[in-house]
Amino acid sequence: MRDVTGGRGCDVIYDGIGRDSFAESFEALAPCGHLVSYGQASGAIGAIDPAMLSTKSATLTRPVLFHYTASPESLRAISGNLFAAMKDFLKVEVHQRYALAEAARAHRELESRQTVGASVLVP
């Protein structure tokens, strides 16, 4: 990332891997950068010394989706924002449609890598 950013580093890094990538993610941060550790696919990152953050004036956050969607109102608001962004900025191509009664088949095909792109279950 230093090469791509001319040596500066990234303003924000989203890390869903955890233990195996945390140090590299932090190293790739720019001064005053923000590291969002949202997953731990490789394991927990362990204890963090707050002094480490001061070397870059960095911030670290560990959000958990369920805290942001704890109430029906917050879930509706977040979902609304997501779908508005998708409508306005993303083009989603659905490559497979399955009747809801075919959900088991859809899962088998997904698990066996027979699908491409987005799949949708329809009533």
Q: Identify which of 94, 101, 102 has the alpha carbon closest to the alpha carbon of residue 120.
A: 94
Tokens of 21: 């990538």
Q: Identify which of 29, 65, 26 has the alpha carbon closest to the alpha carbon of residue 45.
A: 26
Say yes or no: 104 and 44 in one domain: no
Phi, psi dihedrals of residue 45, rounded to the nearest 5°: -80, -15
Instruction: CATH number of the domain at 22, please.
Output: 3.40.50.720
Say yes or no: 63 and 99 in one domain: no
Say yes or no: 62 and 100 in one domain: no
Say yes or no: 14 and 65 in one domain: yes
**Residue 79 is part of which domain span?**
1-90
pLDDT band of 96, cuts 50, 70, 90: very high
Say yes or no: 13 and 41 in one domain: yes
Residue 12: partners with Cβ closer than 8 Å, 6 or more residues away = 33, 34, 35, 36
Q: What is the pLDDT of residues 42-94, one digit of tens each?
A: 999 999 999 999 999 999 999 999 999 999 999 999 999 999 988 888 887 89
